[in-house]
Amino acid sequence: MPNPSNAKILKAVQLTIDLLYEIKQIDVTEETLEQIKSTVLAELEEVSPYAPAKIDTIIECLEKLGGSASRAQIAADTNIDPNAISSLLNKLAKRGIIKKVLLKRTPSWKRGHKPEYIFSLLKREHS
């Protein structure tokens, strides 16, 4: 008998394939594609047995980096896909474990040179 988690993963993959076929038929922005990718990855993380370990890895990374870091810093330090990190960071923010902090822009600041947000650890989740 197939593992229920595997069945959920296969269903998510099939839905993703169907969605990608539909997206090819319409004109969407890069931002929309990134939102779709993050949503799909979040769904896969929900059924992944490794999601709690990845969340703990991100929390430990933030602790190691002094409590705050950009998504890129966290990705580099943990070797977790940046899109997966985005969905996990959103979950941590919803749980009140971290806070997403918008950085002030200066006139010389250009997208891609400095992070737009950093993520600050508020408290350690105890299981």
What residue spans define the domains of the chain? Answer: 1-49, 50-127
Phi-psi region of 96 (alpha: psi -120 to 50; beta: other; left: phi over 0): left
Q: Is 98 helix (H, G, I), strand (E, B) or coil?
A: strand
**pLDDT tens per residue across span 15-36:** 877 777 777 777 777 777 777 7
- Say what the pTM is: 0.55
| pLDDT value for 69 | 93
**pLDDT tens per residue across span 74-91:** 999 998 887 778 888 888
**pLDDT tens per residue across span 95-118:** 889 999 888 766 655 555 566 789
Fold classification of 50-127 is Arc Repressor Mutant, subunit A (1.10.10)
Question: Number of helices and strands (H, E) in the chain?
Answer: 5, 3
| pLDDT value for 108 | 58
Buried b (16+ CB within 10 A) or exposed e, 37-50: bbebbbbbbebbee
Cβ burial, residue 123 (10 Å; 0-12/13-18/19+): exposed
DSSP character at residue 99: E
| SS3 track for 65-80 | CCCEECHHHHHHHHCC
The pLDDT > 90 percentage for the chain reads 17
